[in-house]
Structure 1
Amino acid sequence: MSSTHLIDDSPLTKYHKRLIAACSGGPFLDGFLLSIIGVALTGANADLHLNAATLGIAGAVSLIGLFVGSLVFGPITDRIGRRVMYTADLLVMIAASVACLWIQAGWQLIALRFVVGLAVGADYPIATSLLTEWMPKKHRGSTIGLLSVVWLVGAIVAYFVGFAFTSAFGNGSWRWMLASGAVFGAIVMLLRMGAHESPRWLIIRGRIEEARRDISSVLGREVTTEEITDMVTQEEPQRRARLTDLLRGMNLRRILFCGLTWMCFAIPQFALFTYGPIILSHLGFGEDTAGATLGQIVLNLGFLLGSFPGMKWVESRGRRPLILGSFLFGALALLPLGIWPDAPGWFVMTFFFLFALINGAGNILVFIYPNELFPTQLRASAVGLATAVSRIGAAVGTYLVPVSLIGLGTGPTMLIGAGLTFLGFVISIFWAEETRNRNLTAAAQAPADGTPASVSHARGKAAGKLAL
């Protein structure tokens, strides 16, 4: 029996479903913790008397922490295992959230938001790698894409929580908003108890019998020595990989592709999540904080609703046409907001909602591509590095949003967002690969002709496939 029958072609078991729920807890917390600041900043600004620069840093510093966390903890996860890191990062998230109750100065807010970002950055390579390495290939794309959907759910819950606190207790309740993440963190901790280590990671570390026992437990049958030997043959690397391998040749191109396209998705999205109520107020939607926050909830629902057809298309049409269409039509949706910034509220919400739907569909790829394009021994490091590349731009972009709104105006700020989205389309034309229906080992290998897999064939049909 081929090794693909053990994992890549295995049925979806109860354990797989439990693991999906457990791994989804991380992205949920990520979305919640990174988005709740968007509502809390209004009250924090009033209580702590933040200037424009400090306000920008407070909004962007979590992304800086995310950059550091993903860059540092991705390689550590590849070295010591996925399961060891699986709950440690949650403890840090919970502690930093609770500590927000005692914030008395702007620097304390910035410091704690940095720690939250650090833990979020650690979780990206941990949870996504573990889930990817257990999932059957026919469910892999939609399942990994689900993590992005759950991220959006966390963001939406954050705005509902923020709206509830603001409506009931006013803007002064911002400390409790930030601390509320600890409750969700404790729930996720419980979900993650009892998880197995990645069998692919165990194999490349020589822990063959442990991998065999775990796979047998998950599949509900005894895996034979022949089956596990076949898997070892395919999984075991020819030589020990080094982190520097990610910085040369095909791996470097893939890192840049994953990081830069993730950045092009993330900058407009994080701008909306972090400064959504402020942007909507500038555009004339919502006369008070609660009204603008309610408008933000509607936009977040757009991101979520767009994800569901994206999860279907990523398996039925493929990764490449989905990313191309999302960037192209997303740029076209932002363009009218830049051209007509003084438009009526219904016009603003219509095109913002349309952009949210389109961005939500393509955004499911940000976890899929880096997990599929790299081998087991480098997967978490690659996800961490791609995350870091994306967050350099996202942090700078998010920091500059309030500066741009004040200095350039709302219209030019929207045009910049449209330009960044179109840049993602151009990058994807040249570098987007097709990994649909490929087993995990094959997807990480170099195509025979040295070009991105299926790109030459896809270019010939690009016009027909762009229509999502």
Structure 2
Amino acid sequence: MHIKKNILDDAKFSGFHVRLTIYSSGGPFLDGYILSIIAIAFIQITPQLHLNTTWSGLIGASALIGIFIGGFMGYFTDKFGRQLMYTLDFILLIVASILQFFVQTGWELFLIRLILGISVGADYPIATSLLAEFSPKKQRGAMLGVTLVAYYIGSTVAYIVGQLMLRIGPDAWRWILASSAVPAIILVLLRMGTPESPRWLLQKGRQAEAEQVLKQVYGPSASLDDLAVPGTPSGQTSYFRLFGPGYLKRTLYVGLFYMAAVAPLFAMLTFGPQMLASYHLFQGAAGYGAAIISALFLVGCIPALFLVNRMGRRLMIIVSFAGMTVGVLLLGLFPRGPLALILLGFVVYAMFSGGPNVMEWLAPNELFPTEVRGTAVGITTCISRFGAVFGTYLFPWGLSRFGIGPTMLVAAAVTFGGFIVCVLLAPETTNKSLYAASRPSRPGRRNKNPAP
């Protein structure tokens, strides 16, 4: 079937796209901030709340558990729209951030950070689906990749802010944790007035509203004819579609590579200062050391933003996982140095992690159609956080029982598993329209009314 030009896929990159990318990056920024700021707060929380390794692991993993739960909200994003929850989830985040200031026990902190994670997890399918559905195809990889750059910006800022705020005094951890409310309030104000996705509106049969959004964003001459896709509603929103013929392989690919990428990564970011202490690095200023490592992850994303189109999605992620495995392997094999090898391990792992980072939200948004796009982002996020929760929970236990070397060797095995998944399952969607990239894998299962 011949597909003519689509105004969304072929639009010129504009100020609207820049603003939408910034607003949609708010969730990942806060994810990085919230998951990393706890690492600095632990310096004071652990003795004040008398936390053992079990409670440290549970609190460290609590936001990840919440993200796992929040990922299921992707279904409601597909049912009721991207715009509806685009602001509401951050209001919940603001309230939970402030409540952290008043906790008195470990279980209270665990519960509140669980709620924080739910709000962040809910934002992933909302914001990334909206961004993907407005993105021109030539800029889609970079626009969605920038959201992961925002994660590492949030993480780096958190370590620096947390280290500076420790000077407040013995109760500084309360202010440190509550500080996530500040960027959340700013983002709520910025997001007001963001339009609904015309692809989603059209898929729901709301043609007049879809055309109104097109005119608002692209000018008064824009019309539904510019979408170049049949305007009838397509398939139903359903979790089962992700595990049926045509999409099961894609669901497994995204969920498993995502899990292999974030399981060791989140553990390192959450317990960065403790990990650096095991390597005898940045003694007395581990927060700044963790900020440097987070900044390395940020730098690693930048080449991937350019290579995602030039090298191609499949080759880039395979090469990236191979490089990440080598980096973590160095950290596991040489826990006592020499220092040059330890630093090389961190640098190699961080620089090659850019490929999977860029693909984590690009892949599910490209590989699934409009009616299940938010659901797919949510479910694959859930799969990834399942591994991340266990990795973060077990990391402090592994450090205390086996030491840094064996713990990092386990992380290397997980990363190598991601390499195998990508070799066996990774598809190629470079330079395809969103419509073409999201077509089912099996020709025999095509939708009669494909999603816009």
* TM bracket (short chain): over 0.9
CA deviation string 1:61-114 (max 9, x = no partner): 11111100112x110111000000000110011000001110111111101110
How far does residue 286 in structure 1 lie from its aligned partner after superposition?
Answer: 2.6
- Which amino acid in structure 1 is aligned with residue 272 of structure 2? G
* Correspondence for 1:26: 27
- Which amino acid in structure 2 is aligned with residue 132 of structure 1? A
| Distance in 2 (alpha carbons) for counterparts of 1:183 and 1:125 | 23
* Correspondence for 1:391: 385
Corresponding residue SS for 1:196:
coil
Q: Kindly indicate whether the alpha-carbon contact (under 8 Å) linking 1:68 and 1:118 is maintained by their aligned counterparts in 2.
A: yes
Q: Kindly indicate whether the alpha-carbon contact (under 8 Å) linking 2:247 and 2:440 is maintained by their aligned counterparts in 1.
A: no
Q: Structure 1's 3 and 171: CA in aligned 2 closer, same or farther, altered over 3 A?
A: farther
| Distance in 2 (alpha carbons) for counterparts of 1:449 and 1:409 | 51
| Distance in 2 (alpha carbons) for counterparts of 1:219 and 1:445 | 26
| Distance in 1 (alpha carbons) for counterparts of 2:380 and 2:241 | 14
* Correspondence for 2:424: 430
Q: Kindly indicate whether the alpha-carbon contact (under 8 Å) linking 1:4 and 1:10 is maintained by their aligned counterparts in 2.
A: no
Matching residue within 250, 269, 276 for 2:272: 276
- Which amino acid in structure 2 is aligned with residue 408 of structure 1? F
- Which amino acid in structure 2 is aligned with residue 119 of structure 1? S
Q: Kindly indicate whether the alpha-carbon contact (under 8 Å) linking 1:308 and 1:361 is maintained by their aligned counterparts in 2.
A: no
CA deviation string 1:179-207 (max 9, x = no partner): 00101101101110110000000001111
For residues 10-409 of structure 1, the aligned pairs below 5 Å read 10-71=11-72, 73-166=73-166, 168-170=167-169, 172-224=171-223, 226-227=225-226, 230-233=228-231, 236-237=233-234, 239-288=235-284, 291-409=285-403
CA deviation string 1:278-316 (max 9, x = no partner): 01101111322xx22221111111101111100000011
Instruction: Say if 2:405 is the partner of 1:411.
Output: yes
CA deviation string 1:36-74 (max 9, x = no partner): 111111211111011111111000111111100112x11
Q: Kindly indicate whether the alpha-carbon contact (under 8 Å) linking 2:210 and 2:224 is maintained by their aligned counterparts in 1.
A: no
Higher alpha-carbon deviation: 302-311 or 33-42 = 33-42
Q: Structure 1's 135 and 200: CA in aligned 2 closer, same or farther, altered over 3 A?
A: same
Q: Structure 1's 3 and 183: CA in aligned 2 closer, same or farther, altered over 3 A?
A: farther
The structure with more helix, counted as a fraction of residues: 1
Please provide the CA RMSD for this pair: 1.8
How far does residue 3 in structure 1 lie from its aligned partner after superposition?
Answer: 5.9
| Distance in 2 (alpha carbons) for counterparts of 1:353 and 1:115 | 33
| Distance in 1 (alpha carbons) for counterparts of 2:154 and 2:248 | 32
Q: Kindly indicate whether the alpha-carbon contact (under 8 Å) linking 2:330 and 2:341 is maintained by their aligned counterparts in 1.
A: no
Q: Structure 1's 355 and 196: CA in aligned 2 closer, same or farther, altered over 3 A?
A: same
Alignment identity in percent?
A: 40
| Distance in 2 (alpha carbons) for counterparts of 1:5 and 1:196 | 18
Q: Kindly indicate whether the alpha-carbon contact (under 8 Å) linking 1:62 and 1:117 is maintained by their aligned counterparts in 2.
A: yes
| Distance in 1 (alpha carbons) for counterparts of 2:164 and 2:95 | 23
How far does residue 438 in structure 1 lie from its aligned partner after superposition?
Answer: 0.4
- Which amino acid in structure 2 is aligned with residue 61 of structure 1? S
Corresponding residue SS for 1:86:
helix
Q: Kindly indicate whether the alpha-carbon contact (under 8 Å) linking 2:10 and 2:136 is maintained by their aligned counterparts in 1.
A: yes
Q: Structure 1's 225 and 82: CA in aligned 2 closer, same or farther, altered over 3 A?
A: closer
Corresponding residue SS for 2:138:
helix
Q: Which runs of 5+ in 1 are unaligned?
A: 451-468
Q: Kindly indicate whether the alpha-carbon contact (under 8 Å) linking 1:333 and 1:352 is maintained by their aligned counterparts in 2.
A: yes
Q: Which runs of 5+ in 2 are unaligned?
A: 445-452
| Distance in 2 (alpha carbons) for counterparts of 1:263 and 1:39 | 25
Corresponding residue SS for 2:280:
coil
Q: Structure 1's 449 and 347: CA in aligned 2 closer, same or farther, altered over 3 A?
A: same
Corresponding residue SS for 1:87:
helix
Q: Kindly indicate whether the alpha-carbon contact (under 8 Å) linking 1:97 and 1:181 is maintained by their aligned counterparts in 2.
A: yes
How far does residue 397 in structure 1 lie from its aligned partner after superposition?
Answer: 1.0
Corresponding residue SS for 1:49:
coil
How far does residue 349 in structure 1 lie from its aligned partner after superposition?
Answer: 2.6
| Distance in 2 (alpha carbons) for counterparts of 1:320 and 1:212 | 35
- Which amino acid in structure 2 is aligned with residue 269 of structure 1? L
Q: Kindly indicate whether the alpha-carbon contact (under 8 Å) linking 2:332 and 2:404 is maintained by their aligned counterparts in 1.
A: yes
| Distance in 2 (alpha carbons) for counterparts of 1:2 and 1:195 | 28
Q: How many residues align?
A: 444
Q: Kindly indicate whether the alpha-carbon contact (under 8 Å) linking 2:75 and 2:237 is maintained by their aligned counterparts in 1.
A: no
CA deviation string 1:121-140 (max 9, x = no partner): 10010000000001110100
CA deviation string 1:402-441 (max 9, x = no partner): 1111122211111111111111000000100111100001
Q: Structure 1's 101 and 427: CA in aligned 2 closer, same or farther, altered over 3 A?
A: same
Q: Structure 1's 241 and 89: CA in aligned 2 closer, same or farther, altered over 3 A?
A: closer
Q: Structure 1's 225 and 298: CA in aligned 2 closer, same or farther, altered over 3 A?
A: closer
- Give the TM-score normalised by the residue count of structure 1: 0.92
* Correspondence for 1:453: none
Q: Structure 1's 175 and 346: CA in aligned 2 closer, same or farther, altered over 3 A?
A: farther
| Distance in 1 (alpha carbons) for counterparts of 2:223 and 2:328 | 55
- Which amino acid in structure 1 is aligned with residue 358 of structure 2? I
* Correspondence for 1:460: none
Q: Structure 1's 344 and 116: CA in aligned 2 closer, same or farther, altered over 3 A?
A: same
* Correspondence for 2:448: none
How far does residue 225 in structure 1 lie from its aligned partner after superposition?
Answer: 5.3
- Which amino acid in structure 2 is aligned with residue 68 of structure 1? I
How far does residue 449 in structure 1 lie from its aligned partner after superposition?
Answer: 6.9
| Distance in 1 (alpha carbons) for counterparts of 2:435 and 2:140 | 13
| Distance in 1 (alpha carbons) for counterparts of 2:370 and 2:90 | 23
Q: Structure 1's 82 and 225: CA in aligned 2 closer, same or farther, altered over 3 A?
A: closer
